[in-house]
Chains A and B, each alone.
Chain A
Amino acid sequence: MSANASKLINLTLKVWRQKGPDVKGGLETYEAKDISTDMSFLEMFDVVNEGLILEGKDPISFDHDCREGICGACGAVVNGRAHGPEEGTTLCQLHMRHFDDGDVVVVEPWRSKAFKIVKDLVVDRSALDKIIQAGGYISVNTGGAPDANAIPIAQEVSDLAMDAASCIGCGACVASCPNASAMLFVGAKVSQLKLLPQGDIESAKRAVTMVETMDSLGFGNCTNEGECEVECPKGISITNIARLNRSYFKARSLFKKGVN
């Protein structure tokens, strides 16, 4: 199919294996043989797992679903980089043509205090859902919304909101941040909603409740390292964090003055 004809390569994998959240894990070595360069990284895992199952061994557990880079389920640290070496790519969309025959590939789970390991490469990211539950929405009930064209929104503004709304909730930003901060994730949601007239109304309260919830769940603080932006598969810009900070500090000072 591909313009550059596919070929077969062999790799040595070192994969983090851990039976459950509270047991010790470690790297184990597997040979991945005859891997087509047209495969995705996860399809390469499928091949390795089929072999392990037939040998009566426990296959490698990893989260995945859409395999199109949109659901945010997949993700692992590959040779030290979240979602692997390609920029703007989720693990499921990373193709083996970016690896060379004989490469050694180290695969580890997202590591963060807020994400417990479930098994192998599978982690518990429910903390991200909890942050959204704290306010990552516009408080409207079903029914009673005005006509969709009642409030025009400038195309540039709506494009910016869409850029921020592209976050897939994968958690790579947290995994790549030296402080395990979720500021890029939170900033993306706060920005999307603040940019839109419908969401601006609640923006002060939203910023505060989401940031406080993030803090309470064990995520670290943002110290402007910028790793998150580099590793984010969806190119979520760090300017969203600046926008969040503005909302947050403005809101804090409002709250201090007792305006709620």
Chain B
Amino acid sequence: MLDSKIPEGPLEKKWDNYKFNVKLVNPANKRKFNVIVVGTGLAGASASASMAELGYNVKTFCIQDSPRRAHSIAAQGGINAAKNYQNDGDSVKRLFYDTIKGGDFRAREANVYRLAQVSNNIIDQCVAQGIPFAREYGGLLANRSFGGAQVSRTFYARGQTGQQLLLGAYGAMSRQIQAGKVKLYTRREMRDLVVVDGKARGIVVRNLVTGEIEKYAADAVVMATGGYGNAFFLSTNAMACNVSAAHKAYKKGAFFSNPCYTQIHPTCIPVHGDYQSKLTLMSESLRNDGRVWVPKEAGDKRKPEDIPEGERDYFLERKYPSFGNLVPRDVASRNAKEQCDAGKGVGETGFAVYLDFRDAIARDGRDSIEKKYGNLFQMYERITAADPYTTPMMIYPASHYTMGGLWVDYSLQSTLKGLFVIGEANFSDHGANRLGASALMQGLADGYFILPYTIGGYLAGAKPGEVDESHPEFSKSAKEVEELYAKLLSIDGDRTCDDIHKELGKILWDYCGMARNEAGLLKAKEMIADLRKEFWTNLKVAGTMDQFNQNLENAARVADFLEFGELMVTDALFRKESCGGHFNEESQTEENEAKRDDENFCCVSAWGYRGEGEEPELHREELAFENVELSQRSYK
């Protein structure tokens, strides 16, 4: 029943065939169609700009006071493309293969191939927009390599690649705002999706300044609302990142895929106190020059400088000689955890490993390292008051990215007609693990080069303006949203939503984090249900509904995380194999590596909502691999 609508033809021709066969909307008709875009990250901003350029009327929404502040702004390391500018053997096919393999063979071949194909257009587009990518002395673009790849295909703008790409997309969107083709709604939070006769017809939002509940209708809705990494409370995501929009769409009938696929990033600044509000990523690019190690002896409390070479264990280099420090993220993270669990962790808490630049500085000189990583070193020093030029950094894994998301077919349409999902919010092209520098690529591929075509295929068969805000579904939905806020305010208990969110985060981290097992997951399920009860009986929220009220905003997001967290656990319980970010302790090889079960789990899970208190319904999309051979990933 789940039809991914993959076009006919050989892999290399599928996207061309799709584009040729898709119905087009006549240019004069495009201006009759209204499209809602929720989100102004790379995906939402690029989609808004491109659709407006084509002639559609776009209404774009975001939570922040400015679209330029979407979480994409924080991406540091870079963006991949198959340009092969370095002449090191890269190609569309290789990028495709690396992404499929990196994702542990749990992504759709056709989508991933298309992603690799359009990757090159993205770099061209971004340079034309004035994005100051790093360059060589001769004036051509520079590249670096990133975890999980043996070629240099990552384009970057210092340590601020996401910022520069987002400002490019924001500029393109701003130009369309000026042209009157995009109408911008900032400080608005989508709180429900309005569905009429099985089709997405609009959204209900809370105006975060006035507290008013507002209704917006359109001919199609595009969600670009980002990932749910904040389910863990502590993560590298920005504070406003949430699952609410996606979760509401799920409750309205869109299927949610692979919620248990979460990426725990290996190079983050370790946790250091209960008050901590978020974790800071140290770009993965640091692993190009930094060497990861722990003392050989458990409990060795000497200063890192005092530990002689022979008493250090460069465990990644030792275990994975061909990839060394550049193994994919899931492998690097799990290995760090393993070392710390064995008592070899360093720092005050013992939950950290060293990332050491001593040898790189000796080899290339301080200047060269400063040029590459200066701003990251500065950020590290600012937060920890330790100088990475003279003492190794300390790092530990943290929740960073979510591969799961709303299920979409090849045209990026969800199981609800007229609801398209792009960027990190969809279940995407990354399978069970995303490679570094591929999220930015996917967000911009979706927004600039894929959705603007595919949405036309849907709208070509639609009549513009069939439903407007006067439809009773809008008032019904608005009333439910209002009631939820009223309920949150009425509990008047004695715990704050942050306090409860922290507890949820700890449950998910302990039982549905880097390693999972059945007993733990079953326990987590119960704990989450209890915590949800605690939330709805003992929460305390300040203020009122009809005002700027950040505490109320937050409480509503935590309410959704408390429901969604259980779906993550349910999905993890279903997947009785290990793959990518989902490491099931009951399914490992003799060398403790993740062991897939292709016979039973070569599929995407897609969960359908069945009502309050009901177990969700599982649908499976079976994955067919016709162009690559399924192999056990090895980075040895």
Q: Using CB atoms and an 8 Å cutoff, list the residues of chain A in contact with chain B.
A: 1-4, 6, 19-20, 36, 38-40, 42-43, 46-47, 49-50, 52-54, 56-59, 61, 63-73, 89, 93, 95, 97, 118-119, 122, 124-126, 128-129, 132-143, 145-149, 151-155, 158-159, 161-162, 165-166, 168-169, 192-193, 196, 198-199
The stretch that binds A, out of B25-33, B377-385, B509-517, B570-578, is B377-385
6 tightest A-B CB contacts, nearest first: A152-B139, A137-B171, A145-B128, A1-B272, A162-B132, A145-B124
Chain A residue nearest to B178 in the complex (CB): A133
Residue picked from B50, B186, B277, B547, most chain A C-beta under 10 Å? B277
Residue picked from B136, B170, B174, B449, most chain A C-beta under 10 Å? B174
Q: How far is the CA of A246 from the CA of B97 in the complex (A)?
A: 50
B110-133 near A? 1/0 per residue, CB < 8 Å: 000000000001011111111111
Q: Tell me if B128 and A138 are in contact (CB < 8 A).
A: yes
Chain B residue nearest to A71 in the complex (CB): B69
Q: Tell me if A199 and B130 are in contact (CB < 8 A).
A: yes
Residues of A within 8 A of B49 (CB): 142
Q: How far is the CA of A122 from the CA of B547 in the complex (A)?
A: 13
Q: Tell me if A1 and B384 are in contact (CB < 8 A).
A: yes
Q: How far is the CA of A141 from the CA of B385 in the complex (A)?
A: 45
Residue B338 interfacial (CB < 8 Å): no
Q: How far is the CA of A199 from the CA of B167 in the complex (A)?
A: 14
Q: Tell me if B175 and A3 are in contact (CB < 8 A).
A: no
Given contacts A67-B239, A118-B548, A146-B128, contact A137 B71 (CB under 8 A): no
Q: How far is the CA of A53 from the CA of B494 in the complex (A)?
A: 9
Question: Given B53, B71, B448, B542, which contacts A58 in the complex, CB threshold below 8 Å?
Answer: B542
Given contacts A50-B499, A70-B163, contact A132 B543 (CB under 8 A): no
Residue B172 interfacial (CB < 8 Å): yes
Given contacts A43-B277, A166-B160, contact A192 B382 (CB under 8 A): no
CB A43 to nearest CB in B, in angstroms, measures 5
Q: Tell me if A67 and B277 are in contact (CB < 8 A).
A: yes
Q: How far is the CA of A40 from the CA of B384 in the complex (A)?
A: 11
Chain B residue nearest to A162 in the complex (CB): B132
Q: Tell me if B498 and A165 are in contact (CB < 8 A).
A: no
Question: Given A66, A97, A148, A193, which contacts B385 in the complex, CB threshold below 8 Å?
Answer: A97
Q: How far is the CA of A138 from the CA of B551 in the complex (A)?
A: 39
CB A137 to nearest CB in B, in angstroms, measures 3
Q: Tell me if A148 and B124 are in contact (CB < 8 A).
A: yes
CB B91 to nearest CB in A, in angstroms, measures 16
Question: Given B50, B272, B449, B548, which contacts A61 in the complex, CB threshold below 8 Å?
Answer: B548
Q: How far is the CA of A135 from the CA of B179 in the complex (A)?
A: 11
Question: Given B123, B178, B275, B349, which contacts A43 in the complex, CB threshold below 8 Å?
Answer: B275
Q: Tell me if A142 and B452 are in contact (CB < 8 A).
A: yes
Given contacts A42-B277, A54-B494, A125-B66, contact A65 B551 (CB under 8 A): no
Q: Tell me if A95 and B383 are in contact (CB < 8 A).
A: yes
Q: Tell me if B123 and A148 are in contact (CB < 8 A).
A: yes
Residues of B within 8 A of A63 (CB): 65
CB A161 to nearest CB in B, in angstroms, measures 4
Interface of A, helix, strand, loop or mixed by DSSP: loop
Given contacts A66-B74, A142-B125, A169-B68, contact A133 B175 (CB under 8 A): yes
Q: Tell me if B238 and A89 are in contact (CB < 8 A).
A: no
| Interface residues in B65-120 (C-beta closer than 8 Å to A) | 65-69, 71, 73-74, 83, 85
Q: Tell me if A142 and B53 are in contact (CB < 8 A).
A: yes
Question: Given B174, B448, B547, which contacts A133 in the complex, CB threshold below 8 Å?
Answer: B174
Q: Tell me if B542 and A57 are in contact (CB < 8 A).
A: yes
Residues of A within 8 A of B23 (CB): none
CB A143 to nearest CB in B, in angstroms, measures 8
Residues of B within 8 A of A158 (CB): 132-135
Residues of B within 8 A of A136 (CB): 171, 174
Q: How far is the CA of A193 from the CA of B238 in the complex (A)?
A: 28
Chain B residue nearest to A160 in the complex (CB): B132
Residue B158 interfacial (CB < 8 Å): yes
Q: Using CB atoms and an 8 Å cutoff, list the residues of chain B in contact with chain A.
A: 46, 49-50, 53, 64-69, 71, 73-74, 83, 85, 121, 123-141, 157-158, 160, 163-164, 167, 170-172, 174-175, 177-178, 184, 186, 209, 238-240, 269-270, 272-273, 275-278, 280, 347-349, 352, 379, 382-387, 391, 394, 448-449, 452, 494, 496, 498-499, 540-543, 547-548, 550-551
Residues of B within 8 A of A134 (CB): 178
> What are 16 A-B contacts defined by CB distance under 8 Å?
A3-B386, A50-B496, A54-B494, A57-B542, A70-B163, A71-B71, A128-B66, A129-B186, A133-B178, A137-B172, A142-B49, A148-B126, A158-B135, A161-B130, A161-B132, A198-B128
Given contacts A1-B394, A140-B128, A142-B452, contact A66 B238 (CB under 8 A): yes
Q: How far is the CA of A97 from the CA of B272 in the complex (A)?
A: 14
Given contacts A36-B273, A38-B273, contact A129 B128 (CB under 8 A): no
CB A31 to nearest CB in B, in angstroms, measures 16
Q: Tell me if A149 and B280 are in contact (CB < 8 A).
A: no
Residues of B within 8 A of A137 (CB): 129-130, 171-172, 174-175
Q: How far is the CA of A97 from the CA of B177 in the complex (A)?
A: 43
Q: Tell me if B132 and A196 are in contact (CB < 8 A).
A: yes
Q: How far is the CA of A198 from the CA of B126 in the complex (A)?
A: 11
Since A57-B542, A137-B172 are in contact, a sample of 9 more A-B pairs with Cβ atoms closer than 8 Å, ordered by chain A residue number, is A43-B276, A72-B69, A143-B121, A148-B127, A153-B135, A158-B134, A161-B132, A165-B132, A198-B129
Residues of A within 8 A of B137 (CB): 155
Q: Tell me if B130 and A196 are in contact (CB < 8 A).
A: yes
Q: How far is the CA of A27 from the CA of B548 in the complex (A)?
A: 19
Q: Tell me if B382 and A3 are in contact (CB < 8 A).
A: no
Q: Tell me if B347 and A73 are in contact (CB < 8 A).
A: no
Q: Tell me if A126 and B130 are in contact (CB < 8 A).
A: no
Q: Tell me if B275 and A58 are in contact (CB < 8 A).
A: no
Q: Tell me if A119 and B547 are in contact (CB < 8 A).
A: yes
Question: Given A1, A19, A133, A192, which contacts B132 in the complex, CB threshold below 8 Å?
Answer: A192
Q: How far is the CA of A141 from the CA of B384 in the complex (A)?
A: 43
Residues of B within 8 A of A47 (CB): 275
CB B158 to nearest CB in A, in angstroms, measures 6
Q: How far is the CA of A36 from the CA of B207 in the complex (A)?
A: 35
Given contacts A3-B391, A118-B548, contact A198 B384 (CB under 8 A): no
Residues of B within 8 A of A38 (CB): 272-273
Chain B residue nearest to A194 in the complex (CB): B130
Q: Tell me if A142 and B551 are in contact (CB < 8 A).
A: no
Chain A residue nearest to B68 in the complex (CB): A169
CB B390 to nearest CB in A, in angstroms, measures 10
Residues of B within 8 A of A154 (CB): 135, 139
Q: Tell me if A162 and B123 are in contact (CB < 8 A).
A: no
Q: How far is the CA of A143 from the CA of B128 in the complex (A)?
A: 10
CB B554 to nearest CB in A, in angstroms, measures 10
Q: Tell me if A4 and B123 are in contact (CB < 8 A).
A: no
Q: Tell me if B136 and A142 are in contact (CB < 8 A).
A: no
